[in-house]
Amino acid sequence: MVTGGGAGIGRAVAIQCAARGDRVAVLDIDGPAAQDTVAAARATGAGAAIGLECDVSREESVARAFEQAAGSLGPLYGAFANAGMDAGGWLHELPAETWKRVLDTNLTGVYLTCKYALQQILKAGTPGSIVCTSSPAASVAFAAGAAGAYSASKGGVSALVRCMAVDYARYGIRVNAVVPGATETRLMWANVDPQAVPEMRRRICGEVPLGRLASPDEPARAVVWLLSEESSYVTGSHLVCDGGILAKASISV
């Protein structure tokens, strides 16, 4: 089960899981984008695949999607709670509605995805793995600023991952987070004027120790490893895939 699977890292994870022969459910608020990923997953070798329109901020939408996916694909054994958004703004100017929309999508959406994933895995009585998308913003402030809502939501995701890992370890359910850095996705440029993207990309590449942005396939490989039995003794962890950003001091001297 992959939320936010219509684009970016979510799409890359769905396709990489398909290449292993997994059955894949792709959820996205953009239904046609989810279906496009499903077509790519089937072409890559998915055991089966289904695409569903889902708004992760609405419980009834998440519950319905999980029910439909289980009916089509059988018991759930892995979930990637990835759907997210970013709406920037200085806190003293940020409308309460914007704050709520970011938290509802990024944090409540992860809670709802994990809630229904845990229910299905527990019902099946088998081990499972859940991976949630956090961010470097959960640990440090973005230098550009005006990311209070996004940072708060991702900090909440990181705390939730640790709690779930402890709570559900006794059932053989592992819960981890991936921490992607600057990745070439639509979300990366959500708050950037399209004309400013080339210059912003140049500046970011100069700040990342590895000297470039990630492609979605790179953090996706980290997610697929966490979902797989290759990481069978890993839970409650944050797998940082950020090109060295969190290892770097904030000043240049």
pLDDT digits (tens, 9 = 90+) for 36-46: 999 999 999 99
Q: Does residue 252 lie within any of the structural domains?
A: no
Q: From residue 194, how far is each of 1, 70, 104, 138, 198 by CA, in Å?
A: 32, 40, 26, 26, 8
> Which active-site residues does the annotation give?
150
- What tokens were used for 128? 């499972």
Residue 236 lies in a domain: yes
The CATH number of residue 138's host domain is 3.40.50.720
Q: Rounded to an integer, what distance in angstroms lies between the CA atom of residue 179 and that of residue 9?
A: 11
Asked, for residue 197, whether it belongs to a domain, the answer is yes
The domain of 223 spans 2-246
Give the pLDDT confidence score for residue 8 in this predicted structure. Answer: 96
> Per residue of the chain (253 residues), what is the pLDDT tens digit?
999 999 999 999 999 999 999 999 999 999 999 999 999 999 999 999 999 999 999 999 999 999 999 999 999 999 999 999 999 899 999 999 999 999 999 999 999 999 999 999 999 999 999 999 999 999 999 888 899 999 999 999 999 999 999 999 999 999 999 999 999 988 787 777 888 888 889 988 999 999 999 999 999 999 999 999 999 999 999 999 999 999 998 776 6
In a domain, 223, yes or no: yes
Q: Does 251 reside within a domain? A: no
Whether 195 is covered by a domain: the verdict is: yes
Whether residue 153 lies inside any domain: the answer is yes
Is position 8 within any domain?
yes
Given this model, what pLDDT does residue 253 score?
63
Separation between Cα atoms, residue 199 and residue 178, nearest integer Å: 27
**Domains identified in the chain, total number:** 1
Tally Cβ neighbours within 10 Å of residue 67. 12
At 122, the amino acid letter reads L
